[in-house]
Amino acid sequence: MKKEHHLQDYESVQANFSWETIAKELDGLPHKKGLNIAYETVDRHAKGKHKNTVAIRFIRKDNSFQEFTYSKLKIQTSKFANVLQHLGIKKGDRVFSLAGRIPELYITALGALKYTAVFCPLFSVFGPEPILQRISKGKASVLVTTSALFEKKVKQLQEQLPFLRFILLTDIDEHTSTKILSFSKLMDQANEEFSIPQTNLEDAALLHFTSGTTGMPKGVLHVHQAVLTHYITGKYVLDFHPGDIFWCTADPGWVTGTSYGIISPLVNGVTSIVDEEEFNAIRWYSILEEHKVNIWYTAPTAIRRLMRMDINPKQAYDLENLRLILSVGEPLQAEEVIWGEKTFGMPILDNWWQTETGGIMIANYATMQVKPGSMGKPLPGVEVAIATIDGGKLKLITEPNIEGHLVLKKGFPSMFRTYLHEEDRYKKCFIGDWYLSGDLAKIDGDGYFWFIGRADDIIKTSGHMVGPFEVESTLMRHVDVLEAAVIGKPEPTIGELVKAFIVLKPGIEPNITVKMDIMGFARKEMGPAVAPKEIEFIESIPKTRSGKVLRRLLKARELGLPEGDLSTLETS
C-alpha cells in the first residue's frame, strides 16, 4: 500500500508550523519531569505499541545479525545508566565512545542520555592525536572502546588524560584494574530498571567535535530538546511511517550517524539498520534487498562510487521496498540526482545541515519538485537566509540569485548551545540572532537554495570536515618539517582530499624517503581520515604580511587558477 507522505503541502505546513505544537507530538517524561532524548527514542515505545518492534538491527561483518526490540533496548540502556550510577558519574559528565558500529556503542549513547550524562562519539578511524585533542577538550569521565582500539590508540595517552576515570572495554570478561573495566561484566551486574531523572529542555545531551579553520577542533554542544528536530525531520524529510525499515549508512563518529543513525529513526518508532562493515557495492545492494529497506540515507561519496560501477541494481536486486533515497555530506551534483532517477526510478534527495545545526535544515522533499543540484528548501520552523557580511554587519539579501553567506536564525531546538569551554569562539559565529554557517549559497526565484562553496579554508573530505590548522600542527611536529600548509584538493570521489605543502628544515633533502616518512608519521598520529593523502615539498609557504598562511593561494596554484590579489602577500 502506498504511504502518503507526511509533508503534502510544504507552504501550508511552513505557514502553520510551531515548535510548541510539534513538542505535543512527543510524550515528555512521566510526572512532568521534562524531556529526555532516551525516553522519547526508547522507553516510550517500549511501553507502547512498538514494544516488540525491532528498534535496531545490527548486521555483523559475516552478514549474521542481532536485533534489539524497543523493549530490549530499554533494558540494555537502563542497565548502562545504572552502570554510570554505580561508577559515580554525575549529570553532565562526559561519556565518550570510540568504536565501530557495534551494539555497545548505541547502548552507551542512549544509556548516557538516559542518565543525563553527555554523550560524545569519536570516529574509530581517528589516530591517537585527534583522539587526545577531543578527549582532553571534552574532559571525558568515561570512555567505552574495544581492546584493539584501546591498545592501538588510547593506551599511550593515559598519562595525558588524568581526568578520564574509567575505560570500559567491550570485549573483555573481567576488569583488569580499578580503571579498566569489563563493559559486559558491569552490564551483567546492573539492574534492568532505571528511573530517568528530571531532564530539562536545555540540559546538555550530545557533544560532537567538528573542525574549524583556525585552532583545534571545536566541541559542539547540543541539548535534550534537539530531539524535536530529529523527530520532525524524520517525519517531514525522511517520511517515517510505522513499520518502515530505515538505513542510514553514516558512522556515529560523525553527527549524521548519531542524529540519523540513532535518534531520528528511534524517536519515530521505526526499525534502523546498522551495518558494521564499510562500503562495498554488492553488500550494500544486497542489504537494501534482503532487509527490505524502505528509506536509505547515504552520502555523495558512496553514490559516486556506485555510479562508477556497471551494475543495474533494479535489474539485479529486488528493491521494490525502497521508497526514498537521501544524501548528505556535501552537495550532490545534478547528474548524481538524475542518476538516482534513472537507476532507481526516484531522484536522490539532497539535504544540507551541519554539526552545529544538529539536524537537517534545508532539504529536497519527495512531495516537492526536485531541481537537480539544488539543496532544496528550509525545514518548516527554520528560518534560513542569504546575507552579505561587511565590517561585522549583516544584511539580508532579498533579491534572487545573488550569492552570499548562508545564515540561520537561532531559536530552533537543535541549534548548538556553545562550543565547549570556548564561548568567544561560539559568539563569533553569530551576528545578532543569525548564525553564520560558513557556507556560501544563493536562493533562486522559487525559493530553492543553491550551494556555492565554503567561505573559509575548511576541508570537506568524504563528507567530513578537516581543519587545516589541526593537520598542520601535527605535521610541524615531524623532525624534518619546518613549515606546513594544508588545503583541500578537489577529488571526484571524495570531494576533496587533504593535501599538504611542506617546507623542509635546512639540509633535509626533499626525496621520496622523507616524503614517506612524513606521510607515515601523519597517518600514525592522525589516522587515515585526517592525515594528508598527498604531500608536496615547496620552498616557502605564502603568507600575508601579518603571517597568516595563504591557503587559498596554494589552492589556486594547485588548480591552475588566477592567484587573485596578492597585495597582502609576504614579500620577504
Partner 1 sequence: MKKEEIEKIIFSILKQIAPDTEPSELALDENIKETLGIDSFDFLQFIITLDEKLNREIPEQDYGKITTMSSLINYLTQNMK
Which residue lies nearer to partner 1 by CB, 524 or 548? Answer: 524
281 touching partner 1, by CB under 8 A: yes
99 touching partner 1, by CB under 8 A: no
Q: How far is the CB of 278 from partner 1 (least distance, A)?
A: 6
Q: How far is the CB of 123 from partner 1 (least distance, A)?
A: 11
Name 427's Cβ contacts closer than 8 Å, sequence gap at least 6. none
Write the interaction track for partner 1 spanning residues 444-473; mark x where CB under 8 A is met and - where it is not.
Answer: ------------------x-----------
Q: How far is the CB of 520 from partner 1 (least distance, A)?
A: 3
Q: How far is the CB of 211 from partner 1 (least distance, A)?
A: 17
Neighbours of 283 (CB within 10 A): 15
Q: Choose which of 334, 402, 476, 516 interacts with partner 1 (CB under 8 A).
A: 516
* Burial classification of residue 173, based on how many CB atoms lie within 10 Å of its CB (0-12 exposed, 13-18 middle, 19 or more buried): exposed
Q: Choose which of 483, 517, 536, 570 interacts with partner 1 (CB under 8 A).
A: 517
Q: How far is the CB of 140 from partner 1 (least distance, A)?
A: 23
- Alpha helix stretches (DSSP H) within 294-428: 300-307, 313-316, 334-344, 423-427
Q: How far is the CB of 67 from partner 1 (least distance, A)?
A: 24
Compute the distance between CA of residue 103 and CA of residue 249 in angstroms, rounded to an integer. Answer: 15
157 touching partner 1, by CB under 8 A: no
Q: Choose which of 3, 520, 548, 568 interacts with partner 1 (CB under 8 A).
A: 520
283 touching partner 1, by CB under 8 A: yes
3-state secondary structure of 142: strand
3-state secondary structure of 255: helix
The number of residues making up the chain comes to 572
Which residue lies nearer to partner 1 by CB, 403 or 517? Answer: 517
Q: Choose which of 279, 455, 483, 538 interacts with partner 1 (CB under 8 A).
A: 279
Q: How far is the CB of 301 from partner 1 (least distance, A)?
A: 8
545 touching partner 1, by CB under 8 A: no
519 touching partner 1, by CB under 8 A: yes
Q: How far is the CB of 286 from partner 1 (least distance, A)?
A: 10
521 touching partner 1, by CB under 8 A: yes
Lookup: cell for 499: 593535501
The answer to whether the CB of 285 falls within 8 A of the CB of 315 is no
Lookup: cell for 163: 581526568
532 touching partner 1, by CB under 8 A: no
Write the interaction track for partner 1 spanning residues 476-495; mark x where CB under 8 A is met and - where it is not.
Answer: -----------------xx-
125 touching partner 1, by CB under 8 A: yes
Cα-based angle 249, 411, 123 (whole degrees, multiple of 5): 30
140 touching partner 1, by CB under 8 A: no
Q: How far is CA 455 from CA 213, 384, 389, 427, 437, in A?
A: 10, 17, 11, 18, 9
Which residue lies nearer to partner 1 by CB, 524 or 545? Answer: 524
Site for partner 1 in 355-414 (CB under 8 A): none
For 272, list phi and psi in degrees, rounded to 5: -105, 130
The answer to whether the CB of 491 falls within 8 A of the CB of 497 is yes
Compute the distance between CA of residue 510 and CA of residue 153 in angstroms, rounded to an integer. Answer: 30
526 touching partner 1, by CB under 8 A: no
Query: Cell 583545534 sits at which residue?
Result: 216
Q: Choose which of 135, 164, 382, 529 interacts with partner 1 (CB under 8 A).
A: 529
Nearest partner of 437 among 419, 461, 454, judged by Cα: 454
Q: How would you write 372-407 as a 3-class SS string? A: CCCCEEECCCCCEEEEEEECCEEEECCCCCCCEEEE
Q: How far is the CB of 135 from partner 1 (least distance, A)?
A: 19
The answer to whether the CB of 141 falls within 8 A of the CB of 167 is no
Give DSSP secondary structure letters for 94-128. Answer: EEEEE-SS-HHHHHHHHHHHHHTPEEEEE-TT--H
Number of residues this chain uses to bind partner 1 (CB under 8 A): 28
Compute the distance between CA of residue 35 and CA of residue 336 in angstroms, rounded to an integer. Answer: 39
Site for partner 1 in 296-335 (CB under 8 A): 301, 305, 308-311
290 touching partner 1, by CB under 8 A: no
Q: Choose which of 72, 291, 417, 533 interacts with partner 1 (CB under 8 A).
A: 533
Which residue lies nearer to partner 1 by CB, 55 or 497? Answer: 497
Only segment of 196-204, 214-222, 277-285, 370-378 that touches partner 1 (CB under 8 A): 277-285
509 touching partner 1, by CB under 8 A: no
* Burial classification of residue 78, based on how many CB atoms lie within 10 Å of its CB (0-12 exposed, 13-18 middle, 19 or more buried): buried
Q: How far is the CB of 522 from partner 1 (least distance, A)?
A: 8
Which residue lies nearer to partner 1 by CB, 409 or 533? Answer: 533
204 touching partner 1, by CB under 8 A: no
Bin 195: left if φ > 0, else alpha if -120 < ψ < 50, else beta.
Answer: beta
Compute the distance between CA of residue 447 and CA of residue 364 in angstroms, rounded to an integer. Answer: 12
For 361, list phi and psi in degrees, rounded to 5: -115, -35
Q: Choose which of 128, 359, 438, 527 interacts with partner 1 (CB under 8 A).
A: 527
Which residues in this chain contact partner 1 in the complex, by CB under 8 A? 125, 278-283, 301, 305, 308-311, 462, 493-494, 497, 516-517, 519-521, 523-524, 527-529, 533
